Structure 1
Amino acid sequence: MHLFYTPNITSPQSHYQLSEEESKHCIRVLRLQKGDEVQLIDGRGGLYVSTIADDHPKRTLLEITSSIQEYQKRNHYLHIAVAPTKNIERLEWFLEKATEIGIDEISLIICQRSERKEAKTDRLDKIITAAVKQSLKAYHPVLNEPVSFSKFLSADFDGQKFIAHCEPGEKINLKSALKLQGSSLILIGPEGDFTPQEIDMALKNDYKAITLGESRLRTETAALEACFEVNFLNR
């Protein structure tokens, strides 16, 4: 079954016209024809089954035959704030795999030891969209623009807050600290880790220090480990 990301679709709706780009992909690339069945996802939990009513290569018209709301809705909310990696491909890998596993929101934080100070979120968001379609997710994770670490800490978050770091000090395991079926936010630092000052700032803002194991992990690996662990514990 072919899947298209259609964030502007509404429910209930009997027909939907694909964008020119998606129409070309549908008819010219996939070579689908009138009467063929396709699925649509809106990124907000809606999954729609539709049939091609008009196979025009620039304005393909679909007839919606059924829909499901809150499709495969998860029982928790996960927000990971991660420092962009110097090699942007490593961040792209994390976004792809975290989307496949299950994540709701990603923030890019610029820390004192960050080697990368900016990131093109338009391109990164397309990678998330591709992963959403590949893994048949009806929810599209939110990707926020890069902000400074201190500015991010000042934002409100209604849920548990954690910071994963490698500095000495008292730390707890996610397994023992995480409240299941709730909202959680986890901070993952840059390649050189958070500075002691940043860790202290986070702790003063009600973040709890956690460990992700004995190994020293790369930034993108640590972020994915946190994503996997939260999803696994909430099963």
Structure 2
Amino acid sequence: MDLFFHTSIDTKDSLLSFSDEESRHLSKVLRKQPGDVVAVTDGKGTEVRVEIQNISPRKSSGLITETILHPSPKHKTHIAIAPTKNIVRLEWFLEKATEIGIHRITPILCKHSERKMIKNERLNKIIQAALKQSQQFHLPKLDELRTLESFIEEQNGGYIAHCNPGTKQELADLKSIENSTCILIGPEGDFSVDEVTFAEKNNFKPVSLGKQRLRTETAAIVACHTLALIHRNL
């Protein structure tokens, strides 16, 4: 069943009005007709089934016929990533991580960061589209861009993936892991030695994602997928 997004679903209401963007998609792309039923989520675990009553490219609405509440995932993955110089690569990561299943993304500014500005509005639209495509009901949270140091100071620890020398545990070999797991992924030039030291002093454990040297967005996807597999086996 086609899944649509609505920022705020009031389950007490019997009618639901679609946004302009979703109305255009219903009418022009999918060519839905009155009587067709679609699913709608607010990204907070609520899903409603809606029977379309009125449809047009500018305004569509329907009758809520069923409400389903999806529980939050038991295990949550939080990736803090330095935005890539080529924004398309960051967008690709957000799309794929949403499909895999991620709870939160925090863009971080590091010493070697080449991109120091992002547009969250566009990135959130990419996340919403990926949520709908993958038929999920909990929208990942995208934070505002912030410095690595300020982010680390507010966390209770986690993991840091880097290419600097030193003893590291393979992320894939972790036998137990917290219900909410945070992992740091650095920029194209990697974390600096001082940044790694600061993270380790604040309870971030160094981990390896394999022997290959990975691009930023690839490393983030590997970390996201590895954690998803670990969570699945717990």
In the superposition, the TM-score normalised over structure 1's length comes to 0.93
Distance 1:61 1:175 in 2: 47
176-185 or 11-20, larger mean C-alpha shift: 176-185
Distance 2:193 2:11 in 1: 49
Distance 2:179 2:150 in 1: 24
Distance 2:110 2:67 in 1: 43
The CA deviation at 1:80 is: 0.1
In the superposition, the TM-score normalised over structure 2's length comes to 0.94
Task: Please say if 1:149 is aligned against 2:162.
Answer: no
The CA deviation at 1:50 is: 1.1
The CA deviation at 1:178 is: 5.8
144-153 or 28-37, larger mean C-alpha shift: 28-37
The CA deviation at 1:54 is: 2.1
Q: What residue in structure 2 maps to residue 222 of structure 1?
A: 219
Paired positions, count: 232
Q: What residue in structure 1 maps to residue 115 of structure 2?
A: 116
Q: What residue in structure 2 maps to residue 21 of structure 1?
A: 21
Instruction: Structure 1: state its 5+ residue gaps.
Output: none
**Aligned ranges for residues 53-132 of structure 1 at < 5 Å?**
53-70=53-70, 73-132=72-131
Q: What residue in structure 1 maps to residue 184 of structure 2?
A: 187
The CA deviation at 1:24 is: 2.7
> Relative to structure 1, is the Cα distance of residues 140 and 119 closer, same or farther in structure 2, using a 3 angstrom cutoff?
same
SS in 2 for 1:116: coil
Amino acid across the alignment from 1:201 = F
State the Cα deviation string for residues 38-61 of structure 1 (Å, max 9, x = none).
110110111211101222443312
Q: What residue in structure 2 maps to residue 174 of structure 1?
A: 171
Instruction: Structure 2: state its 5+ residue gaps.
Output: none
Say if 1:40 and 1:47, in contact at 8 Å, map to a contact too.
yes
State the Cα deviation string for residues 13-64 of structure 1 (Å, max 9, x = none).
3211112332233223322111111110110111211101222443312111
State the Cα deviation string for residues 83-123 of structure 1 (Å, max 9, x = none).
00111111111111000000000000010001111111111
Task: Please say if 1:164 is aligned against 2:161.
Answer: yes
Amino acid across the alignment from 2:220 = A
Matched-pair identity in %: 46
Distance 1:28 1:212 in 2: 44
